[in-house]
Structures are given as structure tokens and as C-alpha cells.
Structure 1
Amino acid sequence: MGVVKEGCYLLFPFVILSLSVPLLPLSVHSQCTKPPIIFNFGDSNSDTGGYVDGLGLNFVPPNGRAYFHHPARRLADGRLMIDFLCESLNTGYLTPYLNSLGPNFTNGANFAIIGSATLPRYVPFSLHVQVSQFLRFRSLSPALVLNGYQDLVADGDFETALYTIDIGQNDLAASFDSLSYPQVIDKIPSFITEIKYAISNIYQRGGKNFWIHNTGPLGCLPQKLASFARNAIELDEHGCLRPLNNAAKIFNTQLRVLCEQLNSQLINATIVYVDIYSIKYDLIANASHHGFDSPLMACCGNGGPPYNYNANITCGRTGYTVCHEGSKFISWDGVHYTEAANAVFASKILSTNYSTPRVNFNFFCNKM
């Protein structure tokens, strides 16, 4: 998403990625003296169960079939990108903040919730609300640890923790549902401002290490392709909607500028900017090169080619169809990605090719 400029750092080790088939991230042994603490904020791209915990429900098969072999509180057939990144750091999957049944927060917490956006601010579970939840978690944890509570983060760990944010896709998607293209572009600075507030609020409570994803190619999602009226001029050479992708690029440019500004303004802070847009778009544009089929078609949905997406019969609802296990699809349900695609995304992040400068994991370890 956009061009990455100097001043934004990626804090992961180099991993070799196969040029022909998507592989899971290679095993990486952390050089830190203890597993890193991670606090994550975002939407369905990184929600590991907060939505399910908050509403007291569960997803239905075939969600979760590829790895967990049952619905695993994620909108995917298996692991998310955040799961692979946790594996690469030798730490457990992040427990949702809303999990009240035997939670383990020793390695951090996940505040991401499916459907979340930066705006409106006070609507659950906007980014502002997620940060408010974190601030409460931050203020109560030290006293609880002193009183003998276990499975929590120690007070000093908040300053060395890694704070990750992956949000913005739903802001853009919702805007296109009711606004013209120029009106959507005019709203983007307000989304960026909310991300700025989130980083600043966490920084004021001691956070120093931030890892910020830009947003993906919205115009390549089967849901959007099936839902929006199209003509040939709206589609790019790979079949994606230009207006939606152009808006994502403008969002990403402004996010990159914010990242650079905060790197210079926040003393002793490192702001991570990760070009997820380029990672995802490259996989879609060069799907066959990476061993994938039907890059713009959902594995699980209804309607068949070219997109297999029907808003009235989504994945898991009566009438859906699903591709064979082992199929190399990029889109799981028209909105979310398959485990195979998430594995490639994580591997590319770990390569450091999408960060500038290219810094390996030792940089992060030395800050602990």
C-alpha cells in the first residue's frame, strides 16, 4: 500500500520465500530473552475471537477447516496473518481482551474486533474504544499482579511491548456504500487522525514500539467486485476496481506520512509502517506464479464464477458452496483471506522487503 519511505521500521527477521508455491513462514527462533509482548488493535483481518466472545456465539463450518479443523473464532479457513507472525516470534496466539473464560494475557492481548473501523469514535468497537479498553487494561494490571493475579502483563512490559494496528478497510468500504468517490477521499484524513490519536494515547502511557499495517486492495475483494456496478474503465488490468484501490492508495499515502511524522515527533519511539497493500496486490496480480488459482473468486460462497459471492448466501449459510481442501484460493469468503494466502503475507512481511530501512529482528530485541 503506497511507497514505504525511510523512517519506518519492521521488526522481524529475514525469511526466504519460495517463488513458486506459497509456504508457511519458516521457523524463526527469537533472540529475545523472553517472548515479546504484543497488543493488537484492528478489525477482522486480525480478530482472533473478540467478536465471538463479545456476542457469545461461534462461527460455523467450514470456517477453521484448514488448520484448527473446527470453527476457531476467526473469519477464515485457518490461521490469520497475526497468528503466523506470533508463531515466528515464538509466542502464543493472542488472547482476545473480551475472553472471560481462562484468558492468558502473559504475551499481550488482542483488542481487534470484526467489523471495527476508526469512525464513529464511540461505537463499539471502534479504534477509539479498543484503545480505551487497552488503557483500562494498562491501568488495572499492575495492581492485580501485585495482588497475586497471574496470566497478566507485568508493569515494565508495557514499555517494551509491540503495539500493532491493522485498521481502515471498513472505513473505506462503508464510505463507498453511501458516498461518491470525491466524498470518500475527503473523509480519509479523519480516519488517519483517529490512528494518530491511538498511537499518541498509547505512547503517553509508555508504549514505544508501534507496527502499523496500511490497508489492502479493497477493489480486489470478490464481495466488492460482485456488489458494485462496473464497466470496463473501472477495472484495472488484473480485474480489480480502480476507484476502490485508488482510495486505498490515498489512505496509505496519508498513513505513511503520519508514520514518518510521528517517528520524528515521538521521542524514543519507533513507528513501524508495513506495506500490506503491495504484498496483497502482488499475490493477486501474480497468483499463478505463487501457485494460486482464481485470485478474484471466493473459495466459500455462492454464485460460481467469476466471484462466487452472493450477499444473501454467504459462507456457512444454507446454499453455500466451498472449494476442495487443498485448493489454492486467495479469498476465503469474498472479504477475508485463506490461510494459504495469510501464510504468504506473513512470509513477505518477515522478509523485510516491504519496510524501509530493512532491519532484522535484532533491532527489536536490543530495545527490550
Structure 2
Amino acid sequence: MFVLGIFFVLATATTACWTHRGLPSWSVSRFKHLVTFGDSYTDESRLEYFINHGGVGPPPGTILAESSLIRPWARYVAQYADSLSLHNYAVAGAVCSNEITPRHFATIASDFPSVLEYEIPAWLAEHSLSPTGNGRTFHDLGTDTVFAILIGTNDLGNAAFLTDSQVSGSLLHDYTECVYRAFDAIYAAGGRSFFLMNTVPLHLAPQYAVDGAPATRYYPDKPSNLTQIAARIQRDTASVNEIFRYKTPYELLIAQRYPGSDFALFDTWRMFTEIHNNPRLYLNGTAEPTVSDWSHHCSVAGADCVHRHNNTSPDSFMWWDELHPSEQVHRVLAGEIVKLLNGSSGYATYWSSR
């Protein structure tokens, strides 16, 4: 009887999903709104608002400026798929939860606003506005809105899991479960289309790479053993990505955590690795492509900043600075996310419990 039960569960899961490519519900034309949560890899100007307003976030309905520095992938997605309206709640420096890996930011005299404690409530506050609330509300969360989360760069880096600075007793599992708790809140409000972007290969970023930078403005107390740092962060990011790989279909199809929903898991790790290994296919500046150097160099104090090549060839670099991808990488990522929304990205795996 037990064996028959297992076969029944597996058969049910198989009929409920279509993995890798192609689900009828994934078509960019059906989506009107893209709602994003995350950190500096997605933020445009939300942290800047906190800085300029004494650590206080924007009131619900505030229309924030686009980035004046690097246009992130989410903005490019909205540009490439002009039917989409972007609602971006990401905050540079954010972690998934400050109850797991709090990171203090002296400039705002507080921890960086996190996904679970700030970004999700900020979205819910705007979603609760009347339909005339500055155009920030959404018509039908279940049919025309897709939600995305890209988080982990700060959770797994220095001042967090990398340096054993997490809250005592917290595990990598707590970080990954936090991501699904964020989806829980969105689902409870009516969201039914989601994509999770797994963690980037941080061991390739100059801040953590074995042949990378010494102490940086983001990691001023960096130890000298670069090999150990690269190996530790590679291990942790690979581990949580494996959790995402198996936990996502389990929660959707077996545990029935999100009935009536569509999920896609985007392999950000593999896409960044592909760019790193084949830079000439993706980096199109006038100078020689580079994946080890970065475009914007500053001192450990964050001063004396200069651009390589006098900023005449920023698209030759994979990395804008020691930690953040260049705008060209954001463009490549955005192109793949548009494919994801169309159900055709080779970097995405799809599941449905509809």
C-alpha cells in the first residue's frame, strides 16, 4: 500500500507540472505587472530614498526615480516587454530577513531594510491602496501580475553567513525558508505567478574570487586567505541553490503550499557562469572583455573612485565594481527573463499546480 501511495503522489506531481520549457500559462503578453523584491542587484533608488530621508522609507504610492547609476535587469525587462509595468521594492544591502542575518547601516541608523520585514509589507501597503492610488495597485494578482525574488548576495556574504555573523543558531535552511515565507505572503494576498532567481556564483565576483580583490569598501576587514573565502562562499551558494532546486517543486506539488500557482526557477548561477566562461559572446565593449577586473575602482574607504578606460568601454566588463555586475550583464539577464516570461528560457525550470 505504501509503494502504491508513493506512485500515486509521483504520478499526480507529474501530471501537475511540465518542467524545463513550456507551460501554456507562461506568456509575456498576459502579464501587465512585474513586481520585484531583492537587494542591490535589483534596486533602483529605494535605498537612496532611505538615505535622503533620515532612514524613513517612501510612503505608499510614492513613485521612485529610476537608477542614475546602473539600470538593473528589472528595468530592462520592462523596457524589452513594453506591456509590463515595473513595481520594484528591492533595497540595496537587503537580506531576506533581519531575524537571520541583520546588517547594520550606520547612514540610516538601522539595519538594511529586508525582504520579509520591509519589502513585502511595503508592497502590501501599496496593494491596499484604492484603484486610483497613483497607479500603483494591481488589477488581478492571479492573472496579470508576476512576482520575482532575487536575494542572497548579502545573506551569504561577509557580515552574514560567510563570516559566521548570522543570528546564533541560524542555518542556511533558515535563509531558504525565508524566501518561501515571502512567497507565502504574496500568495496569501492573491499572487499566483512567481519566479525565483537562485543565487549568483559569488565565488566569481572579484570581492570573493580566489584571484580577486584584497580588502574592499564592502569588505574592509577581508582576510588574506582568498582561496578559503572563495571556497566557503562557493560551497554555501551551491548548497542553497540545490535546496531551491528540490524544495520549489516539493512545496508546490507535494506539500501543496501554493495550490493553483505557476512557479519558475531561474538558474542565475548558470547564466553568470556562462558569461564568465565565454565573455566574448556576451560582453560587447570596445576594449578586451574581462571577467576578473572591474570597471569602477574605489579605495577601501570608498573614495578616489576611477573608471577603467575612462569609462569609455563599460560593456567590456562583467563586473561594475568588486561585487556588482555591469550594466551589460543586466541586459543579458533581462533578455533571459523575458524568455522566462514567455516560457522559453533554457535557464528556467517551470512547474504548475493549476
TM-score, normalised by the number of residues in structure 2:
0.71
SS at match of 2:317: coil
Do the aligned partners of 1:301 and 1:320 also contact (CA within 8 Å) in 2?
yes
> Is 1:284 matched with 2:301?
no
Q: Deviations over 1:187-244 (max 9, x none)?
A: 2101011111111111111110011100101111112232455669659xxxxx2321
Change (3 A) 1:154 1:218: closer
3-state DSSP of counterpart to 2:207: helix
Where do 1:1-368 residues align within 5 Å? 7=19, 31-32=29-30, 36-56=32-52, 73=67, 76=70, 79-91=71-83, 107=85, 109-121=87-99, 123-128=111-116, 129-138=118-127, 140-141=128-129, 144-145=130-131, 148-157=132-141, 160-173=144-157, 174-176=159-161, 178-179=163-164, 187-224=171-208, 225-226=212-213, 227=215, 228-229=222-223, 241-264=230-253, 265=256, 266-291=258-283, 293-302=289-298, 310-313=299-302, 317-323=303-309, 324-327=311-314, 328-349=316-337, 350=339, 352-356=345-349
1-structure distance, mates of 2:52, 2:332: 32
> Given that residues 212 and 273 in structure 1 are in contact (C-alpha distance below 8 angstroms), is that contact kept between their aligned partners in structure 2?
yes
**Matched residues in 1 for 2:276 and 2:320: separation?**
13
Coordinate RMSD, CA, aligned: 3.6
Residue type matched to 1:346 in 2?
A
User: What number of residue pairs does the alignment pair up?
Assistant: 290
1:185, CA displacement in angstroms? 12
User: Counterparts of 2:91 and 2:68 in 1: how far apart (Å)?
Assistant: 10
Q: How far apart, CA to CA, are the structure 1 residues paired with 2:168 and 2:79?
A: 37
2:105 corresponds to: none
Q: Is the 8 A contact 1:10 1:273 kept in 2?
A: no
Deviation at 1:10, TM superposition (A): 7.9
Deviation at 1:124, TM superposition (A): 4.5
Residue 175 of structure 1 aligns to which amino acid in structure 2? A
- Opposite residue 322 of structure 1, the aligned amino acid is R
CA distance in 2, matches of 1:168, 1:184: 18
Q: Which amino acid aligns with 1:88?
A: Y
Identity among equivalent pairs (%): 18
Cα distance, 1:232–1:167 mapped onto 2, change above 3 Å: closer
Give SS of 1:262's match.
helix
List gaps (5 residues or longer) in structure 1.
15-28, 58-70, 93-106, 236-240, 303-309
Amino acid at match of 1:165: I
- TM-score (normalised: structure 1): 0.68
The answer to whether the 8 Å contact 1:213/1:275 transfers is yes
Contact 1:175–1:184 at 8 Å: present in 2 too? no
Task: Name the residue aligned to 2:5.
Answer: none
Question: How much has 1:127 moved relative to structure 2?
Answer: 1.1
Question: Retained in 1: the 8 A contact 2:138–2:145?
Answer: no
